[in-house]
């Protein structure tokens, strides 16, 4: 199979993911990157190998090569998942007789806990006074991230049509795999959004449906949201580079610390599996361990 033929198969698969399965553009892009990597590795083999000629030992070799290049277990796991799904599609379209990725597992790597702000750091981030129109918009965005635990793509996709529900205390978002969920909105976030809603017309184009817009009056892009949040964190002197997912982690960790209700946090985050939410119990334990070290009279050995 030629390079062009491999690329055509990948393109057809990605089109199906986008058009029929309606995966997000970000997810399809990630699949495309992983499959381009597969095509590149196959291209390094002698001869003109097609997808159907690849065996399990080839996949294991590819994984070893990528691991040597510095890819960790989580990245390799995601890559193998993309390859596995692609080969499943090839089999459904009679372009492969077997799935060589089945049974191949990535090397294990230490589980990195998500980085979250402390409650004091979150309050410091959100306590900054909004002095202009863009900062009023930013305040509403950052309060929503922390109040609702939204993903970046979910927040950027919010339309003005959700405003009434949002101000009433709930927001309906379309998450991964087109799963719709309803998330409560706290009073601080509602107040910040109400202030922004009163000023939005000064910035938004007349026909723009987005709730949050940029200086050109159109929907605010995800990259700009990231940059504005990072700038706010630096201005407030926070020790870590703040990004939207850190606010999502902070939301989950702080709600779990206060309530202990793992199922409720799972529902609000939109996790399909409780296992994805359980990582926040480790953050909760870290918090408790820190309190213990500071409070218990025999937690630390006294210095002479």
pLDDT on residue 223: 95
pLDDT on residue 276: 62
Residues tagged active-site: 151, 176, 245, 248, 271, 280
Cβ-count burial of 82 within 10 angstroms (0-12 exposed, 13-18 middle, 19+ buried)? buried
pLDDT on residue 81: 94
Q: How far is CA 78 from the centre of its chain?
A: 14
Q: Where are the domains of the chain?
A: 3-92, 119-293
pLDDT tier at 254, thresholds 50, 70, 90: confident
pLDDT tier at 110, thresholds 50, 70, 90: low
Report the alpha-carbon distance of residue 138 to residue 125 in Å, rounded: 11
Instruction: List helix spans (H) across the chain.
Output: 3-19, 25-43, 56-68, 73-92, 119-126, 133-148, 152-156, 163-167, 187-199, 222-235, 244-259, 262-269, 274-277, 279-295
Give 3-92's CATH code, choosing from 1.10.150, 3.90.660, 3.30.1950, 2.60.40: 1.10.150
pLDDT on residue 289: 45
Residues 87-100 pLDDT 10s:
999 999 999 999 99
Give the position of tokens 């989580």. 74
Can you give the pTM of this predicted structure? Answer: 0.60
Quick check: 134 pLDDT over 70?
yes
φ, ψ for residue 226 (rounded to 5)? Answer: -60, -45
pLDDT on residue 304: 40
pLDDT on residue 287: 47
- As a whole number, the mean pLDDT across the chain is 85
- Residue pair 139/194 in contact (Cβ under 8 Å)? The answer is no
Report the alpha-carbon distance of residue 102 to residue 98 in Å, rounded: 9
pLDDT on residue 20: 87
Angle between helices 3-19 and 25-43 (to 10 degrees): 160
- Residue pair 105/63 in contact (Cβ under 8 Å)? The answer is no
Q: Do domains 3-92 and 119-293 have the same CATH topology?
A: no
Quick check: 268 pLDDT over 90?
no
Q: CA of 238: how far to CAs of 202, 203, 230, 243, in Å?
A: 31, 29, 10, 12
Quick check: 205 pLDDT over 50?
yes
Q: What percentage of the chain carries pLDDT values higher than 70? A: 85
DSSP codes, 38-79: HHHHHHTSSS---GGG--HHHHHHHHHHHHHTT--HHHHHHH
Quick check: 10 pLDDT over 50?
yes
Report the alpha-carbon distance of residue 145 to residue 193 in Å, rounded: 12
Q: Once rounded to an integer, what is the mean pLDDT over residues 109-135?
A: 83
DSSP codes, 267-283: HHHT-SSHHHHTHHHHH
pLDDT tier at 158, thresholds 50, 70, 90: very high
Report the alpha-carbon distance of residue 83 to residue 174 in Å, rounded: 26
pLDDT tier at 203, thresholds 50, 70, 90: very high
φ, ψ for residue 184 (rounded to 5)? Answer: -70, 150
Residues 28-77 pLDDT 10s:
999 999 999 999 999 888 877 789 899 999 999 999 999 888 888 888 99
Quick check: 285 pLDDT over 60?
no
- Residue pair 185/169 in contact (Cβ under 8 Å)? The answer is yes
183-188: long-range contacts (C-beta < 8 A, 24 or more apart)? 183/148, 183/149, 183/150, 183/268, 184/148, 184/268, 185/144, 185/147, 185/148, 186/143, 186/147, 186/148, 188/126, 188/143, 188/147
pLDDT on residue 17: 92
Residues 168-194 pLDDT 10s:
999 888 877 778 888 889 999 999 999
Say which CATH topology domain 119-293 has: hpI Integrase; Chain A (1.10.443)
Structure tokens at 174: 């379309």
């Amino acid at each position: 199979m030629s390079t062009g033929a491999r690329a055509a198969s990948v393109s057809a698969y990605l089109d199906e993911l986008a058009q029929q399965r309606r995966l997000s553009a970000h997810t399809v892009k990630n699949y495309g990157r992983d499959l381009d990597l597969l095509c590149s590795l196959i291209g390094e083999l002698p001869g003109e190998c097609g997808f159907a000629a690849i065996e399990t030992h080839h996949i294991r070799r590819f994984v070893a090569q990528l691991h040597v290049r510095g890819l960790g277990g989580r990245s390799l796991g995601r890559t193998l998942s993309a390859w596995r799904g692609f080969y499943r599609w090839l089999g459904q379209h009679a372009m492969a007789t077997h799935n060589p990725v089945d049974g191949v597992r990535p090397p294990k790597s230490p589980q990195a806990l998500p980085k979250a702000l402390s409650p004091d750091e979150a309050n410091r981030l959100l306590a900054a006074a909004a002095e202009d129109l863009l900062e009023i918009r930013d305040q509403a965005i950052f309060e929503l991230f922390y109040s609702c635990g939204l993903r970046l793509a979910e927040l950027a996709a919010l339309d003005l049509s959700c405003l009434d529900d949002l101000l009433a205390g709930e927001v309906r978002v379309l998450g991964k795999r087109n799963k719709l969920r309803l998330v409560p909105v706290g009073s601080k976030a509602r107040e910040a959004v109400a202030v922004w809603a009163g000023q939005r017309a000064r910035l938004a184009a007349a026909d723009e449906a987005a709730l949050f817009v940029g200086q050109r009056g159109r929907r605010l892009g995800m990259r700009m949201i990231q940059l504005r949040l990072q700038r706010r964190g630096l201005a407030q002197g926070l020790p870590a580079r703040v990004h939207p997912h850190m606010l999502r982690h902070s939301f989950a960790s702080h709600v779990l610390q206060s309530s202990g209700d793992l199922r409720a946090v799972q529902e609000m985050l939109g996790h399909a599996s409780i296992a994805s939410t359980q990582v926040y119990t480790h953050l909760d334990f870290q918090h408790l361990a820190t309190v213990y070290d500071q409070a218990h009279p025999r937690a630390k050995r006294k210095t002479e």
